[in-house]
Structure 1
Amino acid sequence: MTQIIEVDALVVGAGVGGIYATYRLADMHMNVQTIDMASDVGGTWYWNRYPGAMSDTETYLYRYSWDKDDLRTYPWTHHYVYQPEILEYLQHIVKKHDLRKYMKFNCEMNSATWDDPDIPGLPNFQGSLLHTAKWDDAVQLDGKRVGIIGNGSTGVQVMTAIAPKVGHLASFQRHPQYSVPSGQGPIAADYRKKVNEDYDKIWDNVWSSTVGFGVPESTRRTMEASPEERKEAFDEVWSKGNGFRFMFSAFGDLTTDEAANEEACNFIRGKIDQIVKDPAKASILKPKELYARRPLCDSGYYEVFNRDNVDVIDIQANPIKQITKIGIELAGGELHDMDVLIFATGFDAIEGSYSRVCITGRDGKTLKDHWRDGLKAYGSIACSGFPNMFLIAGPQGPFANFPPVIESETNFITSLIEHAEALDSGRKATPNGTTNGEANGTNGTSRTRPATIEVSEEAEQDWADLCDSLVQGSVFLKSPSWIFSRNIPGRKPNTNFYFAGLRSYLEWVSKQTSAGFPAFAKGWDA
């Protein structure tokens, strides 16, 4: 029997964005229901439980900015927070603000399907298969022969974590990665005290920055420095750690000047040669392309390949032919026996979560159809033809630290909803997005609201055109990465981010809010 539940707002996903959206919408006295296919909160941090999983953002920024008391009192121990601690933190926030009553778990939207890697012979493998997004702790790795396919951020973390305990580890590498030290380590008491004292200043700097990672953002041009000065600057950010620090703090033009970028490439390649003792391994690990993917950081990735039990196989030079019963056979005929095969693959960022679900808008058009010729979403939050549907961390949002981006987009959405609610009740919204008088309605009551909140096609296309124009001249365009949907076979390349930065995005949102959200004006009278 079908059960029909009427709500004011449906939030799909109980990760960082879903939790904050639930908090904001409930605070607006809306009847909100949050669903998640998992059995608890966490989103990506619920599923990604592989060894070594952690954020690459300083711990004091990988949390919500709006709960100052919580930041000052909630315990954290390391510069970068590991997956179990992130999950505990999100569970804590949900409990503290009594959000669980709005949430329903083990509840999945229709038409979602799991997409296993398409590799010949995979069903024949008689060992254990693991995917980092669905890690099985019951599979023991100690002393086992392990192969791993995928060496993005996830693969780097997994390899670094498991190398000391496996019998043998083989990395089947398609694209070598530039990675820098993370600077991970325990937090000293005086460090935590300093963060607490400077909380407001830290977050002011985040909101006024380009990438929102709490690192200095240099305006110095690379080629204006002498070779000695360049090496000194790169050495300093290398020793401090963090991928975004390396990309944005030493110099300000690594993402826009190819010659400057090549200087950074040569520095990291030199570090690989210094760290990795085996010249053959070092040669495979050194990227030849530009430093133009999401900047990675690690806790000893290159050092792992100095271990006798760790090898790297170049599958561009010698591709995988098939999976056999006992391992991986390469095109050259070599067979690598293994007990466990790990996939750190299939990172379908931005679009993936939406394309797996059948979302239908006006005239029977699905979101997948809407994006067939390329992803686009006005301000990263709304698509024309899909009234009353909003995205958090959708396409064409700021290329910046996700927690501040998620907060910014959620605030944009809830301010828009508040504006619509005020119009509906005949009250005028104040500039900060709140309404004069009491909020209309409470959880569980019926409400009268505008027929639609829908962005115009023109505004959506103008935003997409702006995103395209902002990336012109960027070295990121030269990389075949997920940043432009180039890692998914058959996917049309697309500008998936707004490259003007977090500060510019917030200034734009402020203008739209002050102007009364003109991109949605068509819906006010619907």
Structure 2
Amino acid sequence: MRDVRDNNTEPGDAVNTVDAADAVDVVVVGAGVTGLYAVHKLREMGYRVRGFERGADVGGVWYWNRYPGARCDVESADYSYSFDEELQQEWDWSEKYATQPEIMRYLSHVADRFDLRRSFTFGTSVVSAELDEETLRWTVRTDGGIGGGGADGGDGRVGGEVLSARFCVFAVGCLSSTHLPSVPGLDTFAGATYHTGEWPHEGVDFTGLRVGVIGTGSSGIQSVPLIADQAAQLTVFQRSANYSIPAGNRPLDEAARRELKAGYAERRRLARLSGGGSPFMTHPRRTLEVGEQERRAAFAKRWELGGVLYSKTFPDQLTDLPANEAARGYWEEKVRARIDNPAVADLLVPTDHPIGTKRIVTDSGYYETYNRAHVRLVSLRENAIERIDGQAVVLADGERVELDALVLATGFDAMTGSLDRIAVRGRGGRLLKDDWSAGPRTYLGLGTDGFPNLFSLAGAGSPSVLANVILCAEQHVDWLADCLAHLDAHGYAAIEAGARAVEEWVAECRERAAATLMMSADSWYLGANIPGKPRVFMPFVGGFGAYGQIIADVAGSGYKGFELIPG
């Protein structure tokens, strides 16, 4: 039988069969930024850890999202681990906002530096996890890299592994379950079809082709300028206009990198106090408490900073509609100045949601792309897609848009989609997917009643997608590590969220969201992009720093709201 403490696998390897259940302390599902740190931290504490990743290497969302222009909307200096000072000092970022290839190089460097790959089995999905109520251990089954099993109850044993784990840790990411649009005939399109969330690793050459892009969320907005550079004709099909702000990207020279590294201690301190996990504080006064000149200066400063933090220029932008309108008005003024055709600008300026209630996109030359003669914007609200016929997208007015390639920039079943694919059964055989059928039910985003010793990290019920995910990952993993140490120090076998604590946390998350403008947008934060998904605001909207204090207080109280189960 394999020694689970020394799983020497390489990217792409899959361990396919075992004759009996392996016993480990922790199973970690996912090798993205959260899973990598979880394996490192828990292994360092002496736990026997096995990790599983359906991709062929580390990276999580960055392994799959290789579409043209894929770029992080958090500054590189902040979108990096803080747990190791030598790591911070040795890694050199090449630009302010790193692209996908550079982020992958960074995560690969982290995996190499801490020898993390040996604890992972790649090319393998966990298909089920079932609680043994007598031992309070989890039986975890994988597909062995050949598919099979899943949330419908299949056990995935053919060619897979069966493990027994005391703790089961899901680090599956919020944006890793791709969503396909419901378009009649889509599966019969005669040209080439690509999804931005599962982009070919060898890349795609669109030179001289007629290309269509469906979707103008982050991946659509980031990819359109680069696709336009190659395509002979580009048609962008837009259902909903989104707010985007130029990245203001720039190369980082050696002097800039030295300055960043010298200031890391203070930068991280401020980030942990902030709402979004980045070291930029909101203006000390409310939007309309300052004069127009000061207000415009503050907006201009955030505009030059680039990216999503524009929505946090003033503290009331996402709670007060007049304040939000001031921010939206400045944004519209700046964007319309970039678009030559006023009619096209009318289509690109959102009118259906306040700015920041959907994630603001970080782009490079998106709006200017529509000034190019071979680029066309089609508003699906005015002229919907009726069907796909051969190589044509057929619109409601009968027009046939002939294409050689179709890019689906249609996003993800966010927050819960990746967990829904796994048959997780707790007490009484309860299926987690059923337990969350009306929306995710968690306490602190960490645990769920009826599922002892099972943790979901950096997902629903926590700041996750509303903050710097790498610091969210560290925040959750550090809390988890302290929790497991507490259990062992006091002889507890398990920890389980209490039903009342879960209901109270769900209510608190709901009430905090209702006090903002976030509920007014049909966003993926609410699952609005997935037909039939319950309309529930899934992340914790109270801010990264506030959330960190809440979970620290829970730990300091002896884990109030959790039941600690004796061994």
Q: In the alignment, which residue of structure 1 is the partner of 2:490?
A: 423
Contact 2:282 2:312 in 1 (8 A): yes
Which residue type is aligned with residue 71 of structure 2?
A: M
Tell me the amino acid that sits aligned with residue 477 of structure 2: T
Task: Give the C-alpha shift of residue 45 in structure 1.
Answer: 0.7
Instruction: Name the structure 2 match of 1:170.
Output: 235
Aligned to 1:262: 325
Matching residue of 1:429: none
Q: Work out whether residues 181 and 298 of structure 1, in 8 Å CA contact, stay in contact via their aligned partners in 2.
A: yes
* In structure 2, C-alpha distance between the alignment counterparts of 1:346 and 1:200, rounded to whole Å: 35
Match of residue 126, structure 1, among 190, 195, 212: 190
Total equivalences in the alignment? 498
- 1:180, 1:238 within 8 Å by CA — same for their partners in 2? yes
Tell whether the 8 Å contact from 2:510 to 2:537 is kept in structure 1 after alignment. Answer: yes
1:496 aligns with 538
Q: Which amino acid in 2 is paired with 1:87?
A: M
Take 2:77 and 2:424, find their aligned partners in 1: how far apart are those partners?
36
User: CA shift at 1:468, angstroms?
Assistant: 1.5
Once residues 59 and 190 of structure 2 are traced to their aligned partners in structure 1, the CA distance between those partners, rounded to angstroms, is 32
The alpha carbon displacement at 1:10 in A equals 0.4
Q: Which amino acid aligns with 1:397?
A: S
Query: What displacement does 1:186 show?
Result: 0.4
* Alignment-mate amino acid for residue 431 of structure 2: T
Give, as a single letter, the amino acid of the residue that structure 2 aligns with 1:119.
Answer: V
Partner of 1:468: 510
- TM-score when normalising by structure 1: 0.92
Deviation at 1:520, TM superposition (A): 2.2
Match of residue 69 from structure 1: 86
Written as runs of structure 1 = structure 2, the 5 A alignment for 1:97-108 is 97-108=114-125
Cα shift at 1:140: 2.1
Match of 2:336 among 260, 263, 273: 273
Aligned partner of 1:323 in structure 2 is 388
In the superposition, the TM-score normalised over structure 2's length comes to: 0.85
- Equivalent position to 1:284, from 347, 354, 359: 347
Name the residue aligned to 1:20: 37
CA distance in 2, matches of 1:283, 1:402: 34
**How far apart in 1 are the matches of 2:180 and 2:539?**
27
How big is the shift at 1:2?
5.0
Q: Secondary structure at the match of 2:337?
A: helix
Residue 371 (str. 1) matches residue 436 (str. 2):
yes
> Which amino acid in the other structure matches residue 183 of structure 2?
I
1:454 is paired with a residue of what secondary structure? strand
Q: Deviations over 1:77-123 (max 9, x none)?
A: 00011111111111111111111111111111224497643210112
CA contact (8 A) 1:219 1:253 kept: no
Percent of aligned pairs with the same residue? 34
Which residue of structure 2 lines up, in the alignment, with residue 86 of structure 1? 103
Hey, what's the Cα distance between the residues in 1 that align with 2:445 and 2:225?
A: 34
SS of the residue corresponding to residue 408 of structure 1 reads helix
Instruction: Give the CA deviation at 1:13.
Output: 0.6
- Answer yes or no: is the 8 Å Cα contact 2:222–2:362 preserved in 1: no
Cα distance in 2, alignment partners of residues 507 and 5 from structure 1: 37
DSSP 3-state at the match of 2:438: coil
Mean Cα displacement is larger for which, 227-236 or 386-395?
227-236
Report the secondary structure of 2:245's partner residue.
strand
- Give the Cα–Cα distance (whole angstroms) in 2 for the partners of residues 5 and 458 of structure 1: 35
Counterpart among 343, 355, 365 of residue 420 in structure 2 = 355
Alignment of 1:218 onto 2:278? no
1:524 is matched with which residue? 565
Higher strand content, 1 or 2: 2
Once the two structures are TM-superposed, the CA of residue 376 in structure 1 deviates from its matched residue by 2.1
Q: 5 Å matches for 1:152-231? A: 152-231=217-296
Out of 452, 455, 459, which is 1:394 matched to? 459
| Consecutive unaligned residues in structure 1, runs of 5 or more | 425-449
User: Which structure 2 segments of 5+ residues have no match?
Assistant: 1-16, 128-148, 152-177
Offset at 1:255?
0.5
Equivalent residue in structure 1 for 2:470, among 398, 403, 409: 403
Distance 1:344 1:483, change over 3 A: same
CA contact (8 A) 1:172 1:313 kept: yes
| Residue in structure 2 matched with residue 440 of structure 1 by the alignment | none
C-alpha separation between the residues in 2 aligned to 1:459 and 1:473? Answer: 21
Rounded to whole Å, the distance in 2 between the matches of 1:194 and 1:112 is: 49
CA deviations 1:305-356 (Å, max 9, x no partner) are: 1111111110011111001111211111111111000011142221011011
* Secondary structure class of the residue paired with 1:471: helix
* 3-state SS in 2 of match to 1:184: coil
Cα offset for 1:216?
A: 2.6
State how far apart, in whole Å, the 1-side matches of 2:477 and 2:381 are: 41
Aligned to 1:39: 56
Contact 2:369 2:375 in 1 (8 A): yes
Shift of 1:138: 5.4
Structure 2 counterparts to residues 442-481 of structure 1, below 5 A? 450-481=492-523
Q: Which amino acid aligns with 2:23?
A: E
Identify which of 304, 318, 338 aligns with 1:239: 304
- Contact 2:32/2:61 (<8 A) preserved: yes
RMSD over aligned Cα, in angstroms?
1.6
